[in-house]
Amino acid sequence: MPVRRLPNPRLTGLGGGLFCGAVMVALGSLDRLLLGPSLTVYGVLFLPVCALTALWMRKGDLVSAPVVVPIAFAAGMVAVADGQGVGGRLMGLVTALATQAGWLYGGTLVAGGIATVRKLRMMGRRRLAQRR
| Burial class, 7, CB count within 10 angstroms (exposed 0-12 / middle 13-18 / buried 19+) | exposed
Looking at residue 73, its amino acid is: F
> Which residue from 25, 41, 55, 52 is spatially nearest to 121, judged by alpha carbons?
55
As a whole number of angstroms, the distance between CA 90 and CA 74 comes to 12
Higher pLDDT, residue 7 or 118: 118
pLDDT value, residue 84: 86
Q: Which helix (H) or strand (E) is 120 found in, with range?
A: helix 101-131
* 3-class SS string, 73-90: HHHHHHHHCCCCHHHHHH
Per-residue pLDDT tens over the stretch 1-56 = 566 676 677 889 899 999 999 999 999 999 999 988 889 999 999 999 999 999 99
Per-residue pLDDT tens over the stretch 63-105 = 999 999 999 999 999 988 888 888 988 999 999 999 999 999 9
Look at residue 1 and give its three-state secondary structure: coil
Look at residue 100 and give its three-state secondary structure: coil
